[in-house]
Structure 1
Amino acid sequence: MFPNEMVWENIETFGCEYLYISRTEHMIQVESTVISLETGFPVQIWYQMTLNNSWKATNVHIKDKNGPNLQLTSSGTGVWYDHHGVKLDYLNGAIDIDISVTPFSNSLPIKRHTWHPGQKREIDMVYISIPSLDVQKVKQTYTYIEHENEDRVFHFQHKHFASFISVDENGYVTEYPGLFTRRY
């Protein structure tokens, strides 16, 4: 059984996230609210992700209470479309979504793959920056380091940023040092 609800504290800029996951026979639905300070200003973001049962994103919808909205859809094979159905060629090949204000995004590539200690994967991600909602394809690297107590530890790298990330037995982030801590 996996947790249906999670709460993370944003310890870098102040804030929190409440996330709810529901599952059906054919899909996984994620709905979340993030409240934080981004670039010194309060932000309230609501997002919803639809994933197939292989944890591949097929839809993401993001609403900024005081700003723009964004909706992207995918076949789950790395082909992405905007809310008008226009194909976004610059995102070709990216399977996973990384929303800048949530540690949940890091769970997607971890849950999608089987991992062995020392294994390293370079993954194309659809990166969505909050609050601007700028979208780009980026490469991120995950390396499974070890099993520590109840958690698995991964080394995460994106360009010049690197960190260790701890996930529980279900693959959900428990600790992202200096950025996020799961409280529930």
Structure 2
Amino acid sequence: MTVARWHDWEGQGLEHCVCLENGDGLSLEGVVAGTRHGTYGGHYFVRTDAAFRTREVRLEYVDGPSLHVEADEHGNWRDIIGNRSLPTLDGCFDVDIGITPATNTLPIKRLNLRDEERREIAVAYVPLPDQVAGDFLPQRAEQRYTCITRGHRYRYEGLFRGFTADLVIDDFGLVLDYPDTFRRVL
């Protein structure tokens, strides 16, 4: 078990995340008192399989919307609350929850990139509260990960929004610093 805490870059807000990894996969569970794009509270849970493919995601915003989705080993997603398939997410093996840097760990572990190797992926992006329009469901988003120094530094590119950040990670694969966004405090 690994415990991590982050606050936003300016030292506001707080997140507490517990990460468990065993032979069956990885789970991330956290609570966030966030300040990016307004103030909000949220609780998330993510579970992967042994290959670090996302299999379940739950997120509840305090006094706001909730989501619960699952994916199979082929990247086929289902909205559990609405009891419907989500074909726009077909082929997404990772989730990116906008309120936390913890989910960057998932593609870093799953892709297992070598130095200077890069890979473009599609992820199920879970929006921040102020980005929710209509149904609260993940949206398909294109991203790129580049290994700068294996096990220590990765470049994240949110191709869907033109954003780039060099991420420093710990031995578990969790983000230490996410420039201009999150800073690790534990």
Question: Same fold by TM-score, threshold 0.5 exceeded?
Answer: yes
Deviation string 1:14-61 (CA, Å, 9 cap, x unpaired) is 312101123455343321101112433x20000111111221111101
SS at match of 1:53: coil
Aligned positions of 1:104-119 closer than 5 A: 104-119=102-117
Equivalent position of 1:138 in the other structure: 141
Equivalent position of 1:86 in the other structure: 84
Identity within the alignment, %: 26
The aligned amino acid for 1:69 is S
The aligned amino acid for 2:171 is E
Q: Does the C-alpha gap of structure 1 residues 75 and 24 become closer, same or farther in structure 2, counting only changes over 3 Å?
A: same
Equivalent position of 1:63 in the other structure: 60
8 Å CA contact 2:145, 2:154 repeated in 1: yes
Aligned positions of 1:1-184 closer than 5 A: 3-11=1-9, 14-40=12-38, 42-83=39-80, 84-131=82-129, 132=132, 133-146=136-149, 152-159=152-159, 160-184=162-186
Instruction: Report the TM-score, using the length of structure 2 for normalisation.
Output: 0.88
Q: By percentage of residues, which structure has more strand? A: 1
Instruction: Report the TM-score, using the length of structure 1 for normalisation.
Output: 0.89
8 Å CA contact 1:13, 1:38 repeated in 2: no
User: C-alpha distance in 2, partners of 1:134/1:10?
Assistant: 24
SS at match of 1:106: helix
8 Å CA contact 1:13, 1:36 repeated in 2: no
User: C-alpha distance in 2, partners of 1:12/1:163?
Assistant: 16
8 Å CA contact 2:145, 2:156 repeated in 1: yes
Q: Give the superposed CA RMSD.
A: 1.8
8 Å CA contact 2:94, 2:106 repeated in 1: yes
User: C-alpha distance in 2, partners of 1:12/1:78?
Assistant: 36
User: C-alpha distance in 1, partners of 2:95/2:64?
Assistant: 20
Query: How much has 1:171 moved relative to structure 2?
Result: 1.2
The aligned amino acid for 2:184 is R
Structure 1 stretches of 5 or more lacking a match? none
Post-superposition, which runs of at least 4 consecutive aligned residues in structure 1 deviate over 4 A?
none
